[in-house]
Amino acid sequence: MLYNFPKIELHLHIDCSLSFQFVKKYVPDITLKEYQEVYNTPVNCCSLNDYLACAQAAILLMQTKEQIIDATLDVIHQLENDQVIYAELRFAPLQHLTKGLTPEEVVEASLEAVNSYTGPVKVNLILCTLRHFTKEQSNLTADLVIKYATKGVVGLDLAADEAGYGLENHQAAFTKINTYGLNCTAHAGEARGAESVMETLSILGVKRIGHGIRSVEDLELIENLKRNDIHLEICPTSNHITHVFPAGKEYPINQLLKNRISFGINTDGRAISNVTLADEYCWLEETKGWDINDMFYVNDKALHAAFISDQEKESIQKILNEGFKPFIDSLS
């Protein structure tokens, strides 16, 4: 099967997705081999923290306005090549201040890139606070979401070391976002199990869960996700690399499909995971027996869960339906 149908991607970190071409612009002497050793996940990666550590070199290359604009456009062009029609890109603005930019200037630089792009991919931004951040840092990130909510920032995310840090420093920020009627998601059910997903839903009031694959460990949670239409942002290759689940038959994604949970397929970090969505769908077909109807299901559910208006969803839905129609028709 060719995997050039239209796709939706809701869970993608800019700083984990920088291409060789982008890096070479700012590190001219770097070779492809050196790029792969530094910006792709090392072979001995064995945990989420190892994966996160791989992003540090990329973050150092996103400290000026020009770099942030270029990095955002770099990822958007990767999406275009992968036939993505709608994406929500995320990053933590407070990690990009070492060369004097203010948090506002960081967000505005990324938005400038989004607004300058005129191709077929519709893009919005999600701003991340991180598990190890202070309450003040999380509140500041929430304030940025509120400030730019009508300019292309569509939500708040909580990312990073799920197992090492609790939610205490972040509850106020998420309460603020919910009070303003804005959107939020949070990483859970990745480095910790189903109890982390339940805790995150209860304390942060999120509409989506980043990863969440370990929700399958609790049948009551599965029913809760279904009942409340909570969307899981599933990232198969990332989960394999971080040893959340092995890459073989045990990966429980078909349990989500069987239970008709709302979930989508995402790359998490295109550079670190060294993967495209086409690669993910190829793996799902070859390893999990997915067909085109399954692939349409997850893209349709992802669009339904996107942090955009119903009117925007309707226009993108038409593109999605028309793009999948030849593939589905070929089966009849």
User: Domain extents for the chain?
Assistant: 7-313
Using one digit for the tens of pLDDT, what is the confidence trace for 74-104?
A: 999 999 999 999 999 999 999 999 999 999 9
**CATH fold label, 7-313:** TIM Barrel (3.20.20)
Contacts of 22 (CB under 8 A, 6+ apart): 61, 70, 71, 74
| Adjacency order of strands within the sheet including 122-130 | 7-13, 84-91, 122-130, 153-159, 184-188, 208-211, 231-234, 263-265
For residue 232, list its beta bridge partners.
209, 263
Give per-residue pLDDT as tens, 305-326: 999 999 999 999 999 999 999 9
Chain centroid, CA 91 distance in Å: 9
| Mean pLDDT calculated for residue range 196-204 | 97
pLDDT at res. 267: 98
Model confidence band, residue 244 (pLDDT cutoffs 50, 70, 90): confident
pLDDT-wise least confident of 95-99, 221-225, 242-246: 242-246
| CA-wise closest residue to 109 among 76, 148, 143, 68 | 68
Residue owning tokens 């993108």: 316
| DSSP bridge partners of 124 | 88
Task: Classify 106 as helix, strand or coil.
Answer: helix
Report which of 117, 137, 48, 26 is spatially closest to residue 77, judged by C-alpha positions.
117
Cα–Cα dist 145/139, whole Å: 10
The rounded distance, in Å, linking the Cα atoms of 206 and 196 is 13
Q: How far apart are CA 90 and CA 311, in angstroms?
A: 23
What are the structure tokens assigned to 84, written together? 């993505």
d(CA 57, CA 49): 14
- Average pLDDT estimate for 200-208: 98
Q: What is the DSSP letter of 14?
A: G
How confident is the model at residue 1, as a pLDDT?
74
What is residue 329's predicted lDDT score, i.e. its pLDDT?
83
Q: Where residue 4 falls among pLDDT bands split at 50, 70, 90?
A: very high
Residue 224 CA to its chain's centroid (Å):
22
User: Does residue 46 surpass a pLDDT of 60?
Assistant: no
Residue 150 near residue 308, CB atoms below 8 Å: no
Residue 52: per-residue pLDDT: 67
Q: What is the DSSP string of 36-57?
A: HHHHSPPTT--SHHHHHHTTHH
Give the pLDDT score at 275. 96
What is the rounded distance in angstroms from the CA atom of residue 215 to the CA atom of residue 138?
26
Residue 255, number of CB atoms within 10 A of its CB: 14
Give the C-alpha separation, 23 to 30, whole Å.
8
User: In 10 A of CB 67, how many CB atoms?
Assistant: 20
